[in-house]
Amino acid sequence: MGRLSSGAQPPARTQLRGLAHRAGPVCEPRGLCASRGAGARVGSPPVGFRVVPAAYVLLIDAGERVLLQLRRGTGYRDGFWAAAAAGHVEADEPVFAAACREAAEELGIVVEQRDLVPLTTMHRTHGNGLEIDERVDFFFACRRWTGEPRTMEPERSAGLGWYPLDALPEPVVPHELFVLEGLRRGDLPVITAFGFA
């Protein structure tokens, strides 16, 4: 572990909360970290580790029902119900813009960024070591939009349905079910982790 320079004080205990579980070696002051590859700098991510960001929009109507789509032809959880609008965040795209774009592409509606209410950010893994399965998901609720939601990608969706949070169809994609149940109970954490042992 690195040493404090003379006169430096260790951080207060309150500043260390949340860091105790941080994995990985401590990098040397010169900026190199052997376990992260030659030339890696302090604070650089481990070589080869990335997360795929995605935005999810949960449309909620005046009757407190959520709009879900039945997945098909996607290669992932086909036959499961899921958020009606969701997808990857593109390079150089803010997550709020991605959420609005997905709502337009998948449902043919206009959602304004100001109408997106952040619900939770989920760090998610399938635990298989594949980069595509290391995720960070941003979930938003939206109660106001322009247009009538409809299936815009019929090759990827077998249909849409409005469901009360206490009467969801089965099956629902597991990590999305976690969010919907937390939303129903009113105890959804701001930051969640899913799929870790």
- Return the pLDDT at 21: 31
- Return the pLDDT at 112: 98
Selection from 191, 141, 132, 147 nearest residue 165 by Cα: 141
- Return the pLDDT at 105: 97
CATH code, 52-194? 3.90.79.10
- Return the pLDDT at 26: 32
Q: What share of the chain is helix, strand, coil (3-state, %, to 5)?
A: 20, 30, 50
| Residues 167-194 pLDDT 10s | 999 999 999 999 999 999 999 999 999 9
Selection from 14, 42, 11 nearest residue 26 by Cα: 42
Selection from 182, 57, 197 nearest residue 125 by Cα: 197
Selection from 119, 134, 130, 126 nearest residue 191 by Cα: 119
Domain spans in the chain, listed from the N-terminal domain onward? 52-194
Low pLDDT (below 70) residues in the chain:
1-48
pTM, whole model, 2 decimals?
0.76
Sequence letter at residue 121: T
CA distance 197 to 170: 25
CB atoms within 10 A of CB 100: 24
- Return the pLDDT at 69: 98
